[in-house]
Amino acid sequence: MAGHRGRSSSADSAVDLVPPAASGLSPRLQRVVDALPLEPGMRVLEIGGAPGAAARKVAARVGPDGHVLVLDRSEAGIRRTQTNCREEVASGLLSTMCAAVENFEIEPGTPLFDLAFACRVGALDGRHPRLYASALAHISRAVIPGGMLYVDTESSLTPIALD
């Protein structure tokens, strides 16, 4: 399993987002993906990831031996992700889970994730503060000890240590 080389050591500082590359992603999502400390072989949890646009780019960076799990509370969003990422799903590089971040559980025996990230997830970005503690607790159980959660704050990613 991949380590954490290159990740921010301070949970209080924001990771600056770099200008987008020509990739087919929106400029915002491209900046998020570019800012993540991704390495081949990593396991990545994307929270609120439907319809899978960022997940495909992350999968390309962690593959062929890594894995991306797209977690989203919307059944329709998960179906769109499975359609949009059919090749990555078929190869085992990407999987999906329909659940709310504040109460999801990974299957027993599932390897933990090296990092997690979220874009526009109300439980994590301040829109639904009552869900924040529960969401962090569930994410922490799915990520390796010392792992990080990166939350999109529109102009930067805010790293949050998961201890």
Domains of the chain: 23-161 (3.40.50.150)
pLDDT of residue 5: 30
In this predicted model, what pLDDT tens digit does every residue of 32-47 receive, in sequence order?
999 999 999 999 999 9
Q: Which residue in 83, 81, 149, 82 sits closest to 121, CA to CA?
A: 149
Given pLDDT bands bounded at 50, 70 and 90, which one contains residue 14?
very low
- Cα separation of 58 and 42, whole Å? 10
Least confident range of 9-18, 62-71, 79-88? 9-18
Residue 65 has pLDDT above 80, yes or no: yes
Given pLDDT bands bounded at 50, 70 and 90, which one contains residue 2?
very low
pLDDT of residue 87: 97
pLDDT of residue 45: 98
Given pLDDT bands bounded at 50, 70 and 90, which one contains residue 24?
confident
User: Is the C-alpha dihedral spanning 56, 24, 158, 72 positive or negative?
Assistant: negative
Question: Are 121 and 151 within 8 A, CB to CB?
Answer: yes
Residue 86 has pLDDT above 90, yes or no: yes
In this predicted model, what pLDDT tens digit does every residue of 103-154 receive, in sequence order?
999 999 999 999 999 999 999 988 999 999 999 999 999 999 999 999 998 7
